[in-house]
Chains A and B, each alone.
Chain A
Amino acid sequence: MPNKNVRVLIAKPGLDGHDRGVKVLARGLRDTGMEVIYLGLRLTPEQIAEVAIQEDVDVVGLSCLSGAHMTLFPKTMNLIREKGRKNILFIGGGIIPKKDVAKLKKMGMSQTFGPGTPIEEIANFIKEKLAEGNCDTKD
């Protein structure tokens, strides 16, 4: 799928206010041609899920640097699945310890990207995964 047809939703669930990373990423992905919706911060999983369905996105990127990722990421992913959207590509970012990364992958998050990840690496990851077609990695 060409980049211009890729729809990405980026959001910050929970109370964390660190938004440098998501803002830079949103703009960077937009510059590669993708359509990016940046929803902002202090959102509940419900709010994010609702927009993901309404906007019919291919990718949902969640960012959290406060340590609440193990509660908020799975909850958001589950809500989106429950609302009927299947095979969305979930990616995450923030301060995510390696132990949690493995758990998140089992729960359906394809990959997490820590501080220092080049934008291109994330853009390429999205392209490859969408081309493969099998996005949701939940067991």
Chain B
Amino acid sequence: MSEKREEKPERKKEFRTTVGGTVVKQVYTPTDVITCREEDIPLPGEYPYTRHIMPTGYRTRLWTMRQYAGFATVEETNKRYQYLYEQGQTGFSVAFHLPTQEGYDSDHPLSQGEVGRCGVAIDSLEDMERLWEGIPLASVSTSMTINSTAAIVLAMYVAAAEKQGATADQLRGTVQNDILKEYIARNTYIFAPAPSMRLVTDLCAYCAQSLPQWNSISISGYHMREAGATAAQEAGFTLANGIAYVQAMLDKGMEVDSFAPRFSFFFAAYTNVLEEVAKFRALRRMWAKIMQERFSAQNPRSLMLRYHVQTDGFTLTEQQPLNNIVRVTLQALAAVLGSCQSLHTNSFDEALALPSEQAVQVALRTQQIIAHESGVADTVDPLGGSYYLEWLTSQIEDRATRYIAEIDKIGGALKAIEKGYIQKEIAQSAYNYQRAVDSGEQVIVGVNKFAANEESATKLLEISAEAEQKQIERLKKLKQERDNQRVSQVLNKVRDVARSDENIMPVLIEAVKAYATIGEISNALRDVFGEYREPSVL
């Protein structure tokens, strides 16, 4: 049988999962999984959690459908949040505009043109209070994509919640707070790696003590994947960063099980469904082993890789944008088959502009259809046991483990970043991918194959130019009305704490309560830490 099949000519000389991915065989049989150890594929909810972290998977609770949103001013974003809430969304995810992410006020020269563009403008606690008007922070869960200014923004969230009457122990959510991948891919760093790591670990330590339901970090592979990493690179580099954070917390004198249960992760889902499912399974298995074998964690929650997934933005095409609905569906399916804890589905018009309300609705409905109509959430890890999937899971684990070993050899993730190793690896993968697309080896439907000349008639979201002016005026008014003496006192205090080794969080909460702005607090930290300018790695 098999000999005859091999004689048939095949469409391609070599089949790969993706560019730079795994070479795929014609067929998989029990001999391919002979090397898989049975203890590596136990029941769901059992170490090393390959199949799912919980025994009952989505039968108990579906994943959180969490759409990343934010644009223009707080009023407009608040309206979008209320809309999503009414549509059945179960968690919020805040997109901040770039000035907030990079520590500038809306009236800074570098903020020109950026205010409210790719996220909501938050300059002070006043904006944060308005953002959540009518939404009870004691009973929702909120994810905030914020990194170099994470400590300041979390301070604002805590202060806003307090004003609503919520207590710190009621707050549920996540801050991304993952600075390492900013130097590799996302590029919203402000300070050099060392002081940045101090802020990251201060925030994690504060959460361990005061915000018991808060995920203090979301260690992210997503942006590295977007920047060009392969699935195995995404897995390896993210876990290497995770190792660096755990080590930094231990170096601070924290005990592993006091913080590790609140560490969370964030990954991408590409269109090659089975490779993604394998990646998620490999990741869970690897992290559990790392935490147990390297760091001797005892609490099962310290071993469990909990993660958010976003479908991959890079795969969306400007051409024939409706095709993106299909891509997002496959990617979301991969995330669910891979047992994610929460999921964002991209909107089909995102290669053209920020998503319109209609496109956002389709994206959310995609998740709901998968949840309630497809049946894939009815049993835990439905693909587990497939010869191909189990083999591929082991392949990705092996390749990702080799990247971690390489980074260990260099001296850890921080060193590997400083040397440009991770950046170079990713840039090379990105270049290989583009070459494969340009040569037609990697087909992108509607782009390098099956292209059509039709114009897209998609109605796009437009951000009004007034948003910027409105925000700047609001900021001006705030600076006139607040107690400016109190502000300058508290900013001095921020500098003092930054110079000491005291945890920075309490003084930041004090500063935001005095209505010191994100730019002012960031500048106080710049006075002590300086600014980082990374050499570009091509």
List the interface of chain A (C-beta within 8 A of B).
Answer: 14-20, 23-24, 26-28, 38-42, 44, 65-72, 95, 97, 114-116, 118-120
Contacts and interface: CB of A to CB of B under 8 A. Distances in A.
| Most B-side CB within 10 Å, residue of A28, A38, A41, A115 | A115
A9 B112 CA distance: 22
A15 B109 contact: no
A115 B318 contact: yes
Contact of B353 (A28, A38, A97): A97
Given A20-B227, A38-B536, A97-B460, A118 B437 contact: yes
Contacts of B99: 15
Interface string B317-357: 11100000000000000000000000000000011111000
A24 B98 contact: no
B314 A26 contact: no
Sorted nearest first, the 9 A-B pairs with minimum C-beta distance are A71-B113, A17-B187, A67-B117, A68-B113, A15-B98, A40-B536, A114-B318, A68-B114, A116-B447
B369 interface: no
Given A14-B113, A66-B98, 14 more contacts: A15-B98, A15-B99, A15-B101, A15-B188, A17-B98, A17-B186, A18-B187, A23-B430, A27-B431, A28-B431, A65-B118, A95-B350, A97-B353, A115-B317
Q: Is the interface of B mostly helix, strand, loop or mixed?
A: loop
B319 to A, nearest CB: 7
B32 interface: no
Contact of B226 (A20, A67, A70, A119): A20
A66 B448 CA distance: 26
Contacts of A20: 226-228, 314, 430
B463 interface: yes
Nearest to B108: A15
B316 A71 contact: no
A27 B354 CA distance: 28
Nearest to B319: A116
Contacts of B117: 66-68
Given A95-B351, A97-B460, A17 B188 contact: yes
Contacts of B447: 116
